Structure 1
Amino acid sequence: MVSAYSALLSSFEEVRQVLCDHGITLDVKVIRKLAYRYAERGRAAQQAGQIPLNDEDSLQGRRVFISTDGGRTRLREKKRGPKTQKGRTRYHGKWREPKLLIIYVVDAEGKQEKSFSPFIDGCFNGPDGLFRLLKAYLESLCVDQADQVLFVADGAHWIWNRVPGLVRKLGLNPDNVHELLDFYHAVEHLGKVAGLRKKWSAKERKSWVTKHRGLLLKGEAATVVQAVQAICRGRNSKAIKTEREYFVRNEHRLSFPAIKALNLPIGSGAIESSIRRVVNLRLKGPCTFWYKENAAKMIMLRSYYKAGRWNQLKLMANSHISQLAA
């Protein structure tokens, strides 16, 4: 109960207050320690492959959506030098990027299946750490038996450079795997390209973006890439190179009509929402600093709670207790 409240509420102090209302008096330090130990046991079971699954979690013959992205939170990192006058250790409060994943199933109409609660999780171990975590979940779910597998993300190099290797390690049929750039990120970058034309009026920029947005939906990605290159030709600023390379590099991931024809999503709103609910509303805030290991534990607690898989985390934590007792 303490861990569930810690995942649900916005601070450990709120947890203490709610527990007091239920007649349970616990110090904030005790609450924090209980929640972190609960997360440790759950993570140990997950790393051992002991994820309790039911019949609804089978991916056999289903259409799977996978996405990853990064958020932002401030970590408390020790600073060299003498302590403060009060004897406290000095620290840096630098922004770091926790990375999250989401796995869910869509039905024949392209809508998220309610019978399959999504898997959400994350870590601070960098891109390789996140993809190891993603691989562990997909192997447990037997993703190789899925009918279609769709990877959707923004244009980040750290994501797309690792997807082909993940597909090979999982033994997936390449014909059933699709890579897609998030449509709304692509449109956002069209706006940035139009903004490079300083002599255009706001109306001309909007017209250009609308036109090429429509071309993307019609499957004319090559035409859009050529138009972007035409705007960027002969200009060598860093912003121009970035936008040109964005579309050239991801041209084969702009097959929006083909994906829509399969009734699969063309946007990564699910992972964007997860970043907000899991990270931003709990770990990100003014004057909020986390130790890295504690932030990672809170991400696991909150991910399972927001995904509707708290009972699974409970079984994982309890199974690890039983193994330690044995």
Structure 2
Amino acid sequence: MSEFMNHNQTVELTSSAYELALRLQAHPNISARVLSILDLVENPDDNCETASFAELEVVSELQKLGNDALQDWANSQEKKKALACEKSPEMRRQRKKQLYWYSLFGTIQVIEQTFICVKTEKVFRPFSSSAQIHCRGYSLPLQRAITDFGADVSFGKIPEKLKEHYGITVPISSAQAITQKHAHAVKLSQNLASEIPHRDGVDQIITEMDGTMIPIVNTTPATDDVQIVDRRKNRKLSWKEARLSLVEIPGQKQSLIGGTVGTVNDAGNQLLHSAIRAGIGSNTKVHAIGDGASWIVNQVRRLFGERASYLIDFYHLCEYLAAAAPGNEQQQKKWLKQQKQDLKKNQLLKVLKNLSTRMEPEHLADKFAPVRVCTRYIKNRLEYLDYKSAIDADLPIGSGEIESAHRYVIQNRLKLTGSWWTVEKADDMLALRILRVNNDWQSYWFNYYQETPLIGAV
């Protein structure tokens, strides 16, 4: 019985090997590449001894195999689609045209047979239509890789990254155009929720908001009367505030980020959308933290009303106190430590009394009167300094999360040396950066593949 089984297995193996040999014979480039990979695996000449060298060689061969496979696929599909058109009485053969596009495996090129529809007299390209490609286009997997790099590094460095990781060359202009195209698509795809559900949600959420300045450039547009040859001579450089918001649920590590280069209401709408995604409901309490900027307080009140409590960032307030501290360095540390303890116990009157004993004369400008500035700051924000309640509820009293987000969301890309943005491009790039931070990257590309399968030209 075992001999019979072994015989059957041998016959089956021989049959499979024969079928594979026939199929590979139809694809000589792929067959040669497979043999090269087998030579690497077997290493008959002992010239591939180290694991790292072997890995590099395998990666190189797989890159070439991918190009050969895509090339053979394109040629095969072109013949199939052309043959199907030739059988149709409504199609008449026209001349052949060269078609090529760029992929993660390099350039793919095919000579495509074109046809003309007898009824409409329009040119029809069967392979281009079925494969959903344009000549000189970029495949979606390649666009995804370009956008991934473009979200992190300057546009000029994208080709270097592609060459390093995929062995392919892409012009800087194309890399920039593709990244900006998808950044804009991300921005347009934002469908911000604006209604807090009329049902119970999570018990508590924590929100933080803050702004940072980013470099903006404006150029004078050309008119019918005046054509501007060099826009660099007419550009105006300025700074504009980009605003971030953050929502998290106590005890959970993942937070949701929102951001915009738009108005304060736009920033608030981003915050509300994040809160709804986090699970805010009719029963949810909102613990909001930020600096003393009035726009943040106003947005929290507008969005959440009485359900929200607002707290001035403790460490932001301590900067004012540190500037007002008396004595030498050691005395300043001791004094500041005591004020911090009093603040955490809500002993605000005690802190104000300590400050009042050293109040500067009114004729001194604010920059020479840190005690007066600190006193005014506290008095104008007394209702937002309830640190004791936050500490008792095990809620944060500092907005370090949003300050950290400014670094890894905005500054690491939008404030690179030499980077200047139009407002629209900055808003798009910010949306792209936030997409990644919020783990929506996979979802965006899944939807984009479904809605836009076309390999488009840049």
TM bucket normalised to smaller:
0.7 to 0.9
1:228 aligns with 2:355: yes
Cα shift at 1:273: 0.6
1:74-223 paired onto structure 2 within 5 Å: 74-78=215-219, 88-107=232-251, 113-114=252-253, 117-145=254-282, 147-168=284-305, 174=306, 176-194=307-325, 200-223=327-350
- Conserved in 2, the CA contact under 8 Å of 1:180 and 1:256? yes
Instruction: Tell me which residue corresponds to 1:20.
Output: 163
Letter in 2 for 1:77: N
**CA distance change for structure 1 residues 297 and 319 in 2, over 3 Å: closer, same or farther?**
farther
Cα shift at 1:242: 3.8
**CA distance change for structure 1 residues 88 and 203 in 2, over 3 Å: closer, same or farther?**
closer
Cα shift at 1:315: 4.9
The separation in 1 between residues aligned to 2:180 and 2:344, in whole angstroms, is 46
- Conserved in 2, the CA contact under 8 Å of 1:67 and 1:271? yes
The separation in 2 between residues aligned to 1:317 and 1:238, in whole angstroms, is 54
The separation in 2 between residues aligned to 1:245 and 1:4, in whole angstroms, is 47
SS of match in other structure, 1:296: helix
Letter in 2 for 1:18: K
- Conserved in 2, the CA contact under 8 Å of 1:277 and 1:306? no
1:38 aligns with 2:217: no
1:63 to 199, 204, 217: 204
SS of match in other structure, 1:120: strand
Letter in 2 for 1:279: I
RMSD: 3.0
The separation in 1 between residues aligned to 2:447 and 2:304, in whole angstroms, is 27
- Mean Cα displacement is larger for which, 80-89 or 124-133? 80-89
**CA distance change for structure 1 residues 89 and 47 in 2, over 3 Å: closer, same or farther?**
farther
**CA distance change for structure 1 residues 220 and 78 in 2, over 3 Å: closer, same or farther?**
same
Instruction: Tell me which residue corresponds to 1:53.
Output: none
Letter in 2 for 1:31: A
2:366 to 238, 244, 247: 238
SS of match in other structure, 1:152: strand
**CA distance change for structure 1 residues 288 and 275 in 2, over 3 Å: closer, same or farther?**
same
1:66-116 per-residue CA deviation (whole Å, 9 max, x = no partner) reads 111111221112269999986744212222221111112222xxxxx13xx
- Conserved in 2, the CA contact under 8 Å of 1:154 and 1:181? yes
The separation in 1 between residues aligned to 2:282 and 2:391, in whole angstroms, is 22
TM-score after normalising by structure 1: 0.79
Cα shift at 1:192: 1.9
The separation in 1 between residues aligned to 2:350 and 2:447, in whole angstroms, is 51
Instruction: Tell me which residue corresponds to 1:54.
Output: none
**CA distance change for structure 1 residues 293 and 318 in 2, over 3 Å: closer, same or farther?**
farther
5+ residue gaps, structure 1: 51-57, 108-112, 169-173
The separation in 2 between residues aligned to 1:316 and 1:256, in whole angstroms, is 44
Letter in 2 for 1:136: H
Instruction: Tell me which residue corresponds to 1:310.
Output: 441
1:291 aligns with 2:422: yes
1:300-322 per-residue CA deviation (whole Å, 9 max, x = no partner) reads 11122234332244356567759
1:270 aligns with 2:413: no
**CA distance change for structure 1 residues 35 and 145 in 2, over 3 Å: closer, same or farther?**
farther
The separation in 1 between residues aligned to 2:366 and 2:448, in whole angstroms, is 49
SS of match in other structure, 2:207: strand
Cα shift at 1:32: 1.8
Letter in 1 for 2:212: G
Cα shift at 1:65: 1.3
1:242-253 paired onto structure 2 within 5 Å: 242-253=373-384
Letter in 2 for 1:187: C
Cα shift at 1:141: 4.5
The separation in 2 between residues aligned to 1:120 and 1:48, in whole angstroms, is 13
5+ residue gaps, structure 2: 1-143, 454-458
Select the structure with the greater relative contact order (CA < 8 A; seq sep ≥ 6): 1
- Mean Cα displacement is larger for which, 152-161 or 235-244? 235-244
The separation in 2 between residues aligned to 1:24 and 1:146, in whole angstroms, is 54
**CA distance change for structure 1 residues 105 and 309 in 2, over 3 Å: closer, same or farther?**
farther
- Conserved in 2, the CA contact under 8 Å of 1:183 and 1:267? yes
Instruction: Tell me which residue corresponds to 1:171.
Output: none
SS of match in other structure, 1:271: helix
The separation in 1 between residues aligned to 2:356 and 2:303, in whole angstroms, is 31
The separation in 1 between residues aligned to 2:318 and 2:432, in whole angstroms, is 34
Identity percentage of aligned residues: 22
**CA distance change for structure 1 residues 305 and 242 in 2, over 3 Å: closer, same or farther?**
same
Cα shift at 1:274: 0.6
Aligned length: 297
- Conserved in 2, the CA contact under 8 Å of 1:101 and 1:121? yes
- Conserved in 2, the CA contact under 8 Å of 1:83 and 1:90? no
Instruction: Tell me which residue corresponds to 2:23.
Output: none
